[in-house]
Amino acid sequence: MRTEEIINKTLTNIYSLVKREVDGLDTGECFIELDNEIIIDIPFGFSDDIWIKDLDKDAISLFADLSDYPVYHVNKNNKTIGEITDNNQRQRRTIFNRLRSFFFGHDITIKDYQPYKVDHRENKLKHIKDRKIIDFIWYADDSEKGFILLDNGYLITETTVSNHGTGLTGLNLYESINDLTKAKGNDYFKLTVW
């Protein structure tokens, strides 16, 4: 498939396959579904052709649940872990709690680790489902994937390898070209010129 052929196609699904290696490198692969028909790969830098891929059986849909997600707040008093542990040990040594543990098998719960407040964060993936592709953007560095620009200004790309625990592997999302240029600079190239 030619790169220019993705323009005006609709992004209908994104599948992701991420493998994590503790103390090593995380690897990831995205499968971009267009018009409920074909699955493509995001190319590195500019390429005349875009690979059509087969969906890996272990890949999961990122659009399976587009609801907002909860963020739990714990440790309301901002105690250090040492302070929480010391307080827990003092409470555990009281005669009442030692008897309760001996007779009933119940240890005291550490209340500082229980949520006291829940916020909900917006799932930004709902803004890219069923959007039209209007451009392809890349930087001169061919070691990084290019960026697919959608009709609402969002951009998607993928990171195929990153250090374990960074959370960068897999799909990466930018809300606007302004966000992209803040992170990567202004020296990008565009497939189309508006």
CA distance 161 to 168: 8
**pLDDT tens per residue, range 150-160:** 999 999 999 99
Least confident of 50-59, 80-89, 163-172: 80-89
Radius of gyration of the chain (CA): 24
Q: Which residue has the tokens 């309301």?
A: 76
Q: Which tokens in the block code for residue 144?
A: 């990084």
Confidence of residue 112 (pLDDT cuts 50, 70, 90): low
Dist. CA 79–CA 85, nearest whole Å: 10
Helices 95-104 and 81-92: crossing angle, nearest 10°? 70
Q: What does the DSSP assignment read for the chain?
A: -BGGGGTT-EEEEEEEEEE--TTSEEEEEEEEEETTTEEE-PPBS--SB--B-PPPTT-EETTS--S-EEEEE--TT---HHHHHHHHHHHHTSHHHHHHHHHH-PPPP-GGGS-SEEEEE--GGGGTTTEEEEEEEEES-TTSB-EEEETTS-EEEEESEEETTSS-SEEEEESSHHHHHHHH-S-EEESS--
Comparing 3-7, 14-18, 120-124, 165-169, the range with the smallest average pLDDT is 165-169
Q: What is the pLDDT of residue 194?
A: 46
Write down the pLDDT at residue 193. 63
pLDDT score recorded for residue 113:
67
What is the rounded average pLDDT for all residues in the chain? Answer: 87
Query: Rounded mean pLDDT of 77-102?
Result: 74
Instruction: Say what the pTM is.
Output: 0.77
Sketch the domain layout of the chain as residue ranges: 3-66+122-190, 70-120
Asked whether the predicted pLDDT for residue 108 surpasses 70, the reply is no
More confidently predicted of 56 and 86: 56
Enumerate the β-bridge partners of residue 2.
49
Q: Where does the pLDDT of residue 103 fall: very low under 50, low under 70, confident under 90, or very high at 90 and above?
A: confident
pLDDT in tens, 159-189: 999 888 787 889 999 999 999 999 999 999 9
